[in-house]
A and B are shown apart, each in its own frame.
Chain A
């Protein structure tokens, strides 16, 4: 994964690549236009550095997505990234890498077109074929990796810090390769922010990996032991997949919180992610309240598409859970097989030692060696079973929960609209009554209220239409990704099985003459 890259020096201390950003306002205020559009040529050519100011139509589609939402988006965005604050320097500086040339802000960094060194899971290979019509030829030339888990601190206050490395040629980032240190709660914090901003308007926000109190406690407390090493690797891989999915999302990619997460060397500690914190408990209460509400909302579905899709996802969810459970059983048994094979190998070696017929003794020792190698194979296969197959299924089960959540948001949105309509009706009735009652000042107020609620009804309708539109698009994108992911994993998994058989043939073929040589 990222192991082969030399880690760029972390730290804010070094500002040699600090860029003056007079136009910083432009840079951040119009996140819309920072998505660089590249000519759709497949060869790694150097993209011309483009001037953002002369790119009015670049990401047309991105504008469509964010148009109506600009208010919401930036209302919160400006809170997070205070452009005139002293933290600006910290936020804007990034790690120095030799390829970055100091440039003026309008001419962005010459993108480095290195061969796409994506992480081991080429699952997230963002190829040119991924271009969706709406995005008009925009490519997502960005890859992130999570590596080098490091234990920081001692005892129960210890935590793991992961290195998050981003490689990109997108103009909106300050450099083309940079890395930061993040801890698990930072990831959760990022997800929390993204979810709160985007889910209620219909975007499927990839869920973050799950907390594990048991797992982390083991890591905090124990030294280097295989089960905690396994846990750490599992978490690292999950965090990586989580980030890769998040940056693949065209809308989320433009979010300043995401950028801050990837780029800034210091991140305010996300304390509200602790399970037993006040915020955590509040979250649980809200989830419960939501569940109750869902049951009471009876929506008149005018669009059969939504009903169909919901059913589809429900079925998919069930099937995936079943498959996931079966694959987990396979992983478990294969690990057992590996352990038992190893035990047998040792026993066979002992037997070979005590055998007094020389040729047979040698053959038995060779058999022991073969079995040792086969044990290795089983371990590798179990690894593939888990990281390729099982984790993919787990990820999609969680993703579908997010999809279901988005459908629920649409229902809430509909309800809000209906409620506004009901209120409007009441206000109108009240006004009518007042008309005959003859209280002119109250009448004026009533008329004002009616106007207010009329606009609220309009807004409600607009929002409902918007969220429905967004969801349709999101589901389309999600399905495409799902098909692609599964296809890729199926092929990879089969390849892992083929590899195992190939190796088995090799080992047994080498052993056969040894067995025949027993005289």
Chain B
């Protein structure tokens, strides 16, 4: 059973989407370091454990993104875990956009002053750093959810991932991955049909019926919300960045100005410069608290849908086994065989359903807690920034009016 406690004061890494997963001391996993090279990121995965299975109680390995994918696929391909929501893969580290922006800046736009250039560079570097921190957090949460899950944590591949200090040599899998990916998508669309009830498979369980309709709609809407909030935060960043050349031009005007208007111009420039930092923080907080949250639940709701697909496939198998048994009974051929088959299918299905039900209940609780936490934190941050901005502007106004 997962713990759904409120987060304990651990501010070493930005925990954006999941509530604290480090409550269990028997297996604690974190990404203690990360290095960004040319086009890959190397994560240092650090484990602390008192489980006897491991050779040591504390150890670190270096892993790259592809190895996380490998681990995820190992879980999804394992039938034993069919009734569990497998934590979705962290997104691939993507610094492309940020790198492009930095490059464009470097190539030079002769219209910028040195000051402006330095500020823009600072902004872009901060952005790069933020993206970096986020990708670390995503990979970490993935591992932590696995470590916290009573069944998934016991997986052999997981131990290997955590402990084996050599390269897992999974990079060659890329082509196979791509082909596998195609196949998965085809199978998935068949499953979509299943799950949207267009096939003949009857759903007898009210709970799952509700979950099915709910999840399909929810997933689409959360995906859409994520896209829209991304656009919004990007616009917000643009607005913040626009203050840079404005502040700079105001400073230039103010320095040139011979009348006592110069004070006002310089003051406005100063205020806008400070304001843009605050606006920038608002944008990045919205990104962290809303954007990442919605992105996470887009993927997690997809994982939940995958669970439902698997269950329905299992149900279909069960129904087929029933039909085969009836046929066998009619022909009076292989009855014993078919009976065993049918029993196996039945057991599988029921086990899966029970597990799935629990998983979906947990999913809901997790989701509600995460939304609650993030919405509260978002609101508190927005308030903090708005109050700081207002104070800054008010004091500026008082100073200006006083000079009149």
In the complex, chain A residues 483-517 whose Cβ is within 8 Å of any chain B Cβ: 483, 486-487, 490-491, 493-495, 497-498, 501-502, 504-505, 508-509, 511-512, 515-516
The distance in angstroms between the C-alpha atoms of A320 and B252, with both chains bound, is 10
Q: List 28 A-B contacts (CB under 8 A).
A: A323-B249, A333-B242, A341-B235, A343-B232, A344-B228, A353-B221, A356-B218, A356-B364, A357-B364, A357-B367, A363-B371, A479-B259, A487-B404, A490-B268, A493-B268, A497-B389, A497-B393, A498-B390, A498-B394, A501-B387, A501-B390, A508-B379, A508-B382, A512-B376, A512-B379, A512-B383, A515-B376, A518-B372
Decide yes or no whether A267 CB sits under 8 A from chain B. Answer: no
Shortest beta-carbon contacts, A-B, top 7: A337-B235, A323-B249, A501-B390, A515-B375, A344-B228, A330-B242, A518-B372
In the complex, chain B residues 220-250 whose Cβ is within 8 Å of any chain A Cβ: 221-222, 224-225, 227-229, 231-232, 234-236, 238-239, 242-243, 245-246, 249-250
**Known contacts A323-B253, A330-B242, A483 near B225 by CB under 8 Å:** no
Decide yes or no whether A315 CB sits under 8 A from chain B. Answer: yes
Decide yes or no whether A87 CB sits under 8 A from chain B. Answer: no
Asked whether A487 lies within 8 Å of B221 as measured between CB atoms, the reply is no
Count A-B pairs with CB separation below 8 Å: 159
- B residues contacting A by CB (< 8 A) are 111, 210, 214, 217-218, 221-222, 224-225, 227-229, 231-232, 234-236, 238-239, 242-243, 245-246, 249-250, 252-253, 256, 258-261, 264-265, 267-268, 271, 275, 364, 367-368, 371-372, 375-376, 379-380, 382-383, 386-387, 389-390, 393-394, 396-397, 400-401, 404
Which chain A positions have C-beta within 8 A of B376? Answer: 512, 515-516
Asked whether A501 lies within 8 Å of B221 as measured between CB atoms, the reply is no
Asked whether A351 lies within 8 Å of B225 as measured between CB atoms, the reply is yes
Which single member of B218, B249, B383 contacts A354 (CB below 8 Å)?
B218
| Given A344-B225, A508-B383, A515-B379: 8 more A-B contacts, CB < 8 Å | A322-B249, A326-B242, A337-B236, A347-B228, A486-B261, A494-B268, A498-B390, A501-B390
**Known contacts A323-B253, A340-B235, A341-B232, A487 near B264 by CB under 8 Å:** yes
**Known contacts A343-B231, A344-B228, A505 near B390 by CB under 8 Å:** yes
* Nearest neighbor of A344 in chain B, beta-carbon distance: B228
Q: Determine which residue in B235, B236, B380, B394 has the highest number of CB atoms from chain A within 10 A of its CB, and name it.
A: B235
Asked whether B232 lies within 8 Å of A357 as measured between CB atoms, the reply is no
Which chain A positions have C-beta within 8 A of B397? Answer: 491, 494-495, 498
Asked whether A360 lies within 8 Å of B386 as measured between CB atoms, the reply is no
A131 CB to nearest B CB, Å: 18
* Nearest neighbor of B236 in chain A, beta-carbon distance: A337
Decide yes or no whether A285 CB sits under 8 A from chain B. Answer: no
Asked whether B246 lies within 8 Å of A330 as measured between CB atoms, the reply is yes
Which chain A positions have C-beta within 8 A of B214? Answer: 354, 356
Q: Determine which residue in A315, A357, A490, A491 has the highest number of CB atoms from chain B within 10 A of its CB, and name it.
A: A490
The distance in angstroms between the C-alpha atoms of A347 and B243, with both chains bound, is 29
Asked whether B235 lies within 8 Å of A336 as measured between CB atoms, the reply is yes
The distance in angstroms between the C-alpha atoms of A145 and B281, with both chains bound, is 42
B306 CB to nearest A CB, Å: 19
Which chain A positions have C-beta within 8 A of B383? Answer: 505, 508-509, 512
Which chain A positions have C-beta within 8 A of B371? Answer: 360, 363-364, 518
Which chain A positions have C-beta within 8 A of B260? Answer: 483
The distance in angstroms between the C-alpha atoms of A516 and B231, with both chains bound, is 27
A3 CB to nearest B CB, Å: 29
Which chain A positions have C-beta within 8 A of B372? Answer: 360, 363, 515-516, 518
The distance in angstroms between the C-alpha atoms of A350 and B308, with both chains bound, is 23
The distance in angstroms between the C-alpha atoms of A18 and B236, with both chains bound, is 60
* Nearest neighbor of A367 in chain B, beta-carbon distance: B375
Asked whether B229 lies within 8 Å of A491 as measured between CB atoms, the reply is no
- A residues contacting B by CB (< 8 A) are 312, 315-316, 319-320, 322-323, 326-327, 329-330, 333-334, 336-337, 340-341, 343-344, 347-348, 350-351, 353-357, 359-360, 363-364, 367, 479, 482-483, 486-487, 490-491, 493-495, 497-498, 501-502, 504-505, 508-509, 511-512, 515-516, 518
Which single member of A494, A504, A518 contacts B386 (CB below 8 Å)?
A504
* Nearest neighbor of A375 in chain B, beta-carbon distance: B232
The distance in angstroms between the C-alpha atoms of A486 and B396, with both chains bound, is 16
A340 CB to nearest B CB, Å: 4
**Known contacts A340-B231, A504-B382, A319 near B256 by CB under 8 Å:** yes
Majority SS at the chain A contact face: helix
B258 CB to nearest A CB, Å: 8
Which single member of A355, A479, A498, A518 contacts B375 (CB below 8 Å)?
A518
B381 CB to nearest A CB, Å: 9
* Nearest neighbor of A324 in chain B, beta-carbon distance: B249
The distance in angstroms between the C-alpha atoms of A514 and B134, with both chains bound, is 28
Which single member of B217, B232, B264, B379 contacts A486 (CB below 8 Å)?
B264
Which chain A positions have C-beta within 8 A of B382? Answer: 504, 508
The distance in angstroms between the C-alpha atoms of A329 and B241, with both chains bound, is 10
The distance in angstroms between the C-alpha atoms of A151 and B387, with both chains bound, is 45
Asked whether B239 lies within 8 Å of A337 as measured between CB atoms, the reply is yes
The distance in angstroms between the C-alpha atoms of A118 and B401, with both chains bound, is 21
* Nearest neighbor of B240 in chain A, beta-carbon distance: A333
The distance in angstroms between the C-alpha atoms of A323 and B376, with both chains bound, is 39
Which chain B positions have C-beta within 8 A of A491? Answer: 397, 400-401
Asked whether A344 lies within 8 Å of B268 as measured between CB atoms, the reply is no
Asked whether B393 lies within 8 Å of A490 as measured between CB atoms, the reply is no
B398 CB to nearest A CB, Å: 10
Which chain B positions have C-beta within 8 A of A316? Answer: 253, 256
Asked whether B393 lies within 8 Å of A498 as measured between CB atoms, the reply is yes
Which single member of A356, A490, A504, A518 contacts B400 (CB below 8 Å)?
A490
The distance in angstroms between the C-alpha atoms of A246 and B210, with both chains bound, is 71
**Known contacts A316-B256, A319-B249, A512-B376, A337 near B222 by CB under 8 Å:** no
* Nearest neighbor of B233 in chain A, beta-carbon distance: A340
Which chain B positions have C-beta within 8 A of A483? Answer: 259-261
Q: Determine which residue in B252, B382, B387 has the highest number of CB atoms from chain A within 10 A of its CB, and name it.
A: B382
B265 CB to nearest A CB, Å: 7
The distance in angstroms between the C-alpha atoms of A271 and B214, with both chains bound, is 68
The distance in angstroms between the C-alpha atoms of A456 and B227, with both chains bound, is 77
Asked whether B250 lies within 8 Å of A330 as measured between CB atoms, the reply is no
The distance in angstroms between the C-alpha atoms of A336 and B239, with both chains bound, is 9
B73 CB to nearest A CB, Å: 30
B4 CB to nearest A CB, Å: 13
Which chain A positions have C-beta within 8 A of B235? Answer: 333, 336-337, 340-341
Asked whether A354 lies within 8 Å of B221 as measured between CB atoms, the reply is yes
Which chain B positions have C-beta within 8 A of A319? Answer: 249, 252-253, 256
Which chain A positions have C-beta within 8 A of B404? Answer: 487
Asked whether B238 lies within 8 Å of A494 as measured between CB atoms, the reply is no
Which chain B positions have C-beta within 8 A of A323? Answer: 246, 249-250, 253
Asked whether A347 lies within 8 Å of B224 as measured between CB atoms, the reply is yes
**Known contacts A319-B252, A319-B256, A502-B390, A337 near B232 by CB under 8 Å:** yes
The distance in angstroms between the C-alpha atoms of A316 and B255, with both chains bound, is 11
Asked whether B393 lies within 8 Å of A501 as measured between CB atoms, the reply is yes
Which chain A positions have C-beta within 8 A of B367? Answer: 357, 360
Asked whether A320 lies within 8 Å of B253 as measured between CB atoms, the reply is yes
Asked whether B232 lies within 8 Å of A334 as measured between CB atoms, the reply is no
The distance in angstroms between the C-alpha atoms of A353 and B389, with both chains bound, is 34
Asked whether A355 lies within 8 Å of B400 as measured between CB atoms, the reply is no
Which chain B positions have C-beta within 8 A of A326? Answer: 242, 245-246, 249
Which chain B positions have C-beta within 8 A of A495? Answer: 397
B264 CB to nearest A CB, Å: 5
A257 CB to nearest B CB, Å: 33
B151 CB to nearest A CB, Å: 25
* Nearest neighbor of A333 in chain B, beta-carbon distance: B238
Which chain A positions have C-beta within 8 A of B394? Answer: 498
Asked whether B368 lies within 8 Å of A330 as measured between CB atoms, the reply is no
Asked whether B225 lies within 8 Å of A348 as measured between CB atoms, the reply is yes
Which single member of A359, A479, A494 contacts B396 (CB below 8 Å)?
A494
